[in-house]
Structure 1
Amino acid sequence: MDLFGNTPNWESNLAPILEKYSRKKHPLAYQNRYQLMVMVLLSAQDSDANINSLASLLFQNFPSIESLSVAKKTALIPYIANVKNVETKANWLLEIAKTISKNENIPLTMEGLTALKGIGRKSANVILREANQPAVGIIVDLLQYMTKSIFH
């Protein structure tokens, strides 16, 4: 193995993989940017299957960030009770909803997303990618993400 030889052309080497998988939908069954953001936040350290299973009832009761912004934590918790770290995530969701207040105010930049409680760079990259915005960097768990995208 020549460590100091020619640098590989990563763009051309990755092109076939990107072509094959770039249009694969994320395994979270979201319908809009609001749902995507909520589901990505809830899915941290949890399974996409668990989040998908509770999403329908959650979004029937909180169909927009506006409805979530006026919700009490005690009203939200029953819909996300099976989510890991439910108390923390409920607090984050309610704080985000109050901060943003309208669906159209959901940021579509790395800086805007990571300024929100509970949204780190990894979650922000997922949201940006799914919203057809340029992601910043590479998803850290790329192998896990690709496996989920391919087999689900």
Structure 2
Amino acid sequence: MKPLSRAEIVELFTRLRELNPHPTTELAYHSPYQLLVAVVLSAQSTDVGVNKATRKLFEVAPTPQAMLELGEEGLKRYISSIGFYNTKAKNIIALSRILVERYGGQVPHDREALEALPGVGRKSANVILNTVFGEPVIAVDTHVFRVSNRTGLAPGKDVREVERKLERRVPDEFKRDAHHWLILHGRYVCKARKPDCPHCVIRDLCRYPHKTPAGA
């Protein structure tokens, strides 16, 4: 597969920006801490399912200290509908304790510190650095990975390779919002099983050889 040219990449993101000038996460939150919790819960789960659980959870435990007071067993009652909730509850209580004891209850603006938190990997840290602190980093989830490979934007065998290529290939003017555009495009248009190619705004740029025809 021939990767997209720089001019094609500029055109791709220009079109996505025209459709959605101010993209953001679909996770519901009211503070950096709440986004962090939501991101941990979202691993291998849908944003819709996470939002349903956190809507009630954040009413009783909106801060790290309140989460510690709720406790692991109390937390499980709110997130039991989410996959791997036992492990996630353990991680959320542990990271809440670290935030209270080391960071005054605040989410640190530091990649190393974020990745050291239980349940927080590179992708999750990138989400926080981008969405909370405005850094032009790109979080590569399954949607970003799929779109990057299908289109020829940044083909790679694993998420780190795709991330490195995106960092090099995405023009600076688009980096701040790039992963939001790619996530949303993958979630609603370039879907895993049946991409909606006939309604894709970047269809003519895309290198995917198995485009779905109109009416399919």
TM-score normalized with structure 1 length: 0.80
Aligned to 1:117: 118
Aligned to 1:92: 91
Q: Is the 8 A contact 1:27 1:48 kept in 2?
A: yes
| Identical amino acids, percent of aligned pairs | 28
CA distance in 1, matches of 2:124, 2:80: 21
Structure of higher RCO (CA pairs closer than 8 Å, 6+ residues apart): 1
The alpha carbon displacement at 1:133 in A equals: 2.7
Distance 1:138 1:51, change over 3 A: closer
Q: Which runs of 5+ in 2 are unaligned?
A: 148-181, 190-216
RMSD of aligned residue pairs (Cα, Å):
2.9
Aligned to 1:145: 183
The alpha carbon displacement at 1:68 in A equals: 1.2
Cα deviation per residue 1:90-140 (whole Å; 9 max; x = unaligned)?
A: 000000011111675211222121111111111111112111431445524
Letter in 2 for 1:16: T
Give the structure with higher Rg (CA): 2
Q: Which runs of 5+ in 1 are unaligned?
A: none
Letter in 1 for 2:132: A
CA distance in 1, matches of 2:97, 2:139: 30
Distance 1:117 1:80, change over 3 A: same
Cα deviation per residue 1:32-69 (whole Å; 9 max; x = unaligned)?
A: 11110000100110010001111121011112111112
TM-score normalized with structure 2 length: 0.58
Aligned to 2:132: 131
The alpha carbon displacement at 1:31 in A equals: 1.3
Distance 1:11 1:132, change over 3 A: farther
Q: Which of structure 1's runs of 4+ aligned residues deviate more than 4 A?
A: 9-15, 17-22, 148-151
